């Protein structure tokens, strides 16, 4: 044992110097092969513990601005470690903790420190610096508002595809956020890609909020992020527009030409519903005691039957002009037996009402004209059971004309015979 101690202590100074030199050489080799470097990384800010404010009816008015703030973080480590960090930048987190705003009130602007860390690698990485080191949070009242959802189609539909009025899974949504932002919201829109409607009639659409100028309002939320919009694919049909003229003008006056502009309504609906719609009846215009012409503008949508809609982009109103003119013609009561029916269907019975018509034109053929001379046709094809107003197409001699005249057509089915008969 004594011999070992003598060997250990012999030339102790040289031995310690050798150890020191070896250590220095080791550190030199490490630094040459694995040098320490510093690199900069840019990371977004994460907002933590926001419920500290929302639980008290408050929120951060500039939350969207804070989320878009980029924090420049300088990290010091060996190059190989920094290479790994460059491949995994999400290891670096930059956050702001709102638990520090437990006593903030509406209108406060508070500077909060930015917390930066590297979540993996332990002590391998050291944060050299961060910029900015603090951010300002603007405290505002948190409000909610219920708003209707509007649907917009992005793109053009293929020719021949027409859509019904959409059905929404949510007709309204709750918009919530800072009062300064919610007050800007003028509409909530669900935008649908036109291509998606080629393959499905039920489409999921994300919701976005816009101000009165159509600019997207960020930093607010809706109680549902998206909704389902359902359509029915419809056919299109042009149907003639009809108007009834009732009453009698003042003595010495008569009803002249009646015009509808446009003459037809472009409507959409299921093939079954469109098949039943032969014309669009707009009601009546009373000319009792009139001495001057009558003009009316009517909304077509007010007269559409259930399941029928106006084609998008088509006229939604019609102008009716009824000319009241000095009487210069003769009035006749039409003999129903002189009217021919076109388009009759087996198993149906058609009964005509009465109709009066005023004939005008050259005096010679007009004076010779008798009621029994008036003949015409009534198109009844497609009429269902019930009473309809149908236009009479009169065959008049040259030089004579008549204002449009309609007649009641009552359609009934054949009565079924008892089985014993």
Distance separating alpha carbons of residues 52 and 105, to the nearest angstrom: 12
How far CA 236 is from CA of 193, 198, 268, 300, 309, in Å, comes to: 22, 17, 4, 16, 10
* pLDDT given for residue 421 in this prediction: 43
Mean pLDDT of 34-44: 86
- Specify the CATH architecture of the domain 141-234: Beta Complex (2.170)
Highest-scoring range by mean pLDDT, 6-20, 148-162, 222-236:
222-236
- What would the two tokens of residue 250 be? 């003042």
Element (H, E) at 52: helix 51-54
The distance of Cα 383 from the centroid of its chain, to the nearest Å, equals 37
220: pLDDT strictly greater than 80: yes
- Please give the C-alpha separations between residue 246 and each of 254, 287, 322, 327, in angstroms, as whole numbers: 12, 6, 11, 17
Question: Could you give the count of Cα atoms lying within 13 Å of 373 in the half-sphere of its Cβ?
Answer: 11
Q: What is the CATH number of domain 36-140?
A: 2.170.120.30
pTM attached to this predicted model: 0.52
CB environment 16-42: b (16+ within 10 A), e (fewer): eeeeeeeeeeeeeeeeeeeeeeeeebe
Query: Which tens digit of pLDDT belongs to each residue from 57-74?
Result: 999 999 889 989 999 999
Q: Between these two residues, 215 and 31, which has the higher pLDDT value?
A: 215
Q: Where are the domains of the chain?
A: 2-33, 36-140, 141-234, 236-326, 330-413
Q: Which two tokens stand for residue 80?
A: 């190989």
The CATH code of domain 330-413 reads 2.170.120.30
Is residue 175 within 8 A of residue 182, CB to CB? The reply is: yes
3-state SS class at 29: helix
43 exposed, middle or buried (CB, 10 Å; 0-12, 13-18, 19+)? buried
Write out the E strands in 194-250. Answer: 202-210, 221-222, 226-230, 233-246
Instruction: State which fold the 236-326 domain adopts.
Output: RNA Polymerase Alpha Subunit; Chain A, domain 2 (2.170.120)
Return the pLDDT at 416. Answer: 46
Taking only the tens place, the pLDDT of each residue in 129-173 is 999 999 999 999 999 999 999 988 887 766 656 776 788 899 999
Residue 262 has pLDDT above 80, yes or no: yes
Nearest alpha carbon to residue 270 among 238, 304, 236, 303: 236
Nearest CA among 258, 244, 253 for reference residue 402: 258
Residue 85 has pLDDT above 70, yes or no: yes
Residue 147 has a pLDDT of 93
């Amino acid at each position: 044992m004594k011999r070992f101690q003598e060997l250990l202590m012999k030339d102790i100074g040289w031995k310690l110097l050798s150890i020191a030199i070896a250590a220095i050489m080791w550190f030199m080799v490490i630094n040459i092969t694995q040098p320490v470097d510093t690199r900069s990384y840019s990371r977004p800010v994460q907002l933590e513990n926001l419920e500290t404010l929302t639980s008290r009816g408050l929120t951060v008015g500039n939350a969207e601005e804070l989320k878009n703030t980029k924090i420049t973080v300088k990290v010091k480590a060996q190059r190989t470690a920094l290479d790994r960090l460059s491949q995994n930048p999400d290891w670096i987190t930059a956050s702001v903790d709102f638990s520090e705003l437990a006593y903030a009130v509406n209108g406060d602007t508070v500077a909060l420190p930015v917390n930066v860390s590297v979540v993996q690698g332990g002590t391998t990485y050291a944060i050299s610096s961060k910029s900015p080191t603090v951010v300002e949070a603007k405290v505002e009242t948190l409000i909610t508002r219920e708003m209707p959802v509007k649907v917009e189609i992005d793109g053009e539909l293929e020719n021949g595809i027409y859509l019904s009025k959409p059905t929404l899974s949510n007709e309204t949504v709750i918009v919530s956020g800072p009062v300064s932002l919610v007050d800007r919201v003028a509409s909530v829109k669900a935008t649908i890609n036109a291509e998606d409607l080629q393959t499905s009639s039920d489409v999921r659409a994300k919701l976005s909020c816009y101000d009165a100028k159509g600019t997207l309002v960020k930093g607010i939320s809706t109680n549902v992020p998206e909704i389902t919009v359902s359509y029915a694919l419809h056919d299109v049909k042009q149907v003639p527009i009809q108007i009834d003229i009732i009453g009698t003008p003042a003595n010495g006056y008569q009803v002249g030409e009646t015009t509808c502009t446009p003459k037809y309504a472009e409507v959409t609906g299921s093939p079954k519903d469109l098949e039943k719609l032969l014309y669009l009846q707009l009601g009546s215009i009373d000319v009792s005691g009139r001495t001057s012409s009558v003009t009316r503008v009517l909304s077509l949508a007010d007269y559409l039957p259930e399941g029928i809609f106006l084609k998008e982009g088509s006229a939604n109103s019609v102008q009716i002009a009824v000319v009241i003119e000095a009487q210069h013609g003769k009035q006749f009561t039409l003999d129903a037996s002189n009217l021919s029916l076109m388009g009759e269907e087996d198993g149906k019975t058609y009964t005509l009402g009465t109709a009066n018509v005023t004939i005008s034109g050259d005096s010679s053929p007009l004076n010779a004209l008798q009621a029994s001379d008036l003949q015409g046709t009534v198109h009844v094809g497609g009429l269902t059971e019930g009473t309809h107003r149908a236009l009479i197409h009169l065959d008049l001699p040259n030089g004579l004309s008549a204002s449009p005249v309609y007649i009641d057509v009552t359609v009934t089915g054949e009565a079924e015979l008892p089985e014993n008969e």
